[in-house]
Every structure is written in structure tokens, then in C-alpha cells.
A = this chain, B = another copy of it.
Amino acid sequence: MARRNQHSREELQGLAIQAVRELVVEKGLEKLSVRKVADRIGYTAGMLYHVFANLDDLILHANAATLDQLLGDMDSAADSSPARALHQMASAYLALAREQTALWQMVFMHRMQNAAPVPDWYQQKTAALFDRVERQMAGLATDHDPAQIHLAARTLWSGVHGIAVLAAQDKLVVAGDVDEQAMLESLLEHYLNSWAGE
């Protein structure tokens, strides 16, 4: 049943990442194991351990694929004016949360086993996302210093994340009839408006 010679190392890696993403959408992160991923692609768990260090490593690679997708969506917004680009980036984030909720949640639900540190290569992925936001914010407020831009980029992300969390969990109903896209526009318009002029 193991078809160890049918795929290159890179192909096996890709297959396993795809299997993680499918299994999380179907059954949730709690039920995921290296064995189930191996079963799904017709390999033994032992073979997968030649390619991934452990379950954490597998999950981080699957999350990296989600972040790469988001980065691609954000980069396709980068040609507009800074304010428009930031609105489009925020919309891309909200769309990811709405349309691929399980994969987006996995990025935030996953915790390293035994409190192991998040590896550098993964931290560079998240840093790349913030870098895109910061570049647009620097374009919007050319005399702001790096510390101001650092704080504002993370504040804006947290705000957009809050809208995305509540929208994805259908918890906005409790707040009365309110449209998440209208909230997103309002948040960015007013926050950036005052921040750029500070």
C-alpha cells in the first residue's frame, strides 16, 4: 500500500500539505494526526516522518500555504493608491476568513507542542504579510516613523481580524443587523484618515 517510489520528496510534501488542508476542512484540527494524513495519501506514517519532523511541522507547512495564498491576494492589490491597497488587502483577509474558514482558523488555533518555538522560516512568512501592510502605510504617511507604522499596522490588522472572527462565527447577528463589509470600510476609512494626519 505504500507507494514510496512513485513521488519525489517535493511531490510527497505537496500531497501531504494538501491532505492536511482537506482533513482539517472535513474533520477539524483536533482530529488531525500524522497517521491520518499518511492514510489519506497512501503512505505509511514512517515515510511522512522522512519529510516532516512531526505534526507541528506538517501543520505549519499547511498554514504557510494559506499565508502564501493571502500574500498573493494582497500583492495583487499593491498597485493601487496606498489607501485603496489597504482596503483591498483587508477585504482579501475577510474573504479568506469567510470562504476558507477552517484553513484560516487553523493559522490561529494551532499551538506548538511542548511550547516549542515557532521556527524562523514561518515567522518570516508572517513578517512578509506585515511588511506589505507597512509599506502601504508608509506610503500613506510619509513622515511617520517606523514605530508608529509598526503599531498602526498591527492595530489595523487586529481590528480587521476582529471583524473576520465575528463574521466567520456568525456572531454579528447578536450585535443587531450589521454588514461586515460596511464595518471594514468604516474601520479603515476613519482609522487611516486620522492616523495619516497625526
A residues within 8 Å of B by Cβ?
Answer: 108, 118, 123, 126-127, 130, 150-152, 154-155, 157-166, 169, 171-172, 174-176, 178, 182-183, 186-187, 189-195, 198
Contact = CB atoms under 8 A, between A and B. Distances in A.
Each complex incorporates copies of this chain amounting to 2
B176 A130 contact: yes
A182 B182 CA distance: 25
A191 B163 CA distance: 15
22 contacts: A108-B171, A118-B174, A123-B174, A126-B174, A126-B175, A127-B176, A151-B182, A151-B183, A152-B186, A155-B163, A157-B175, A158-B172, A159-B163, A159-B187, A160-B162, A161-B165, A187-B191, A189-B194, A190-B191, A190-B193, A191-B191, A191-B194
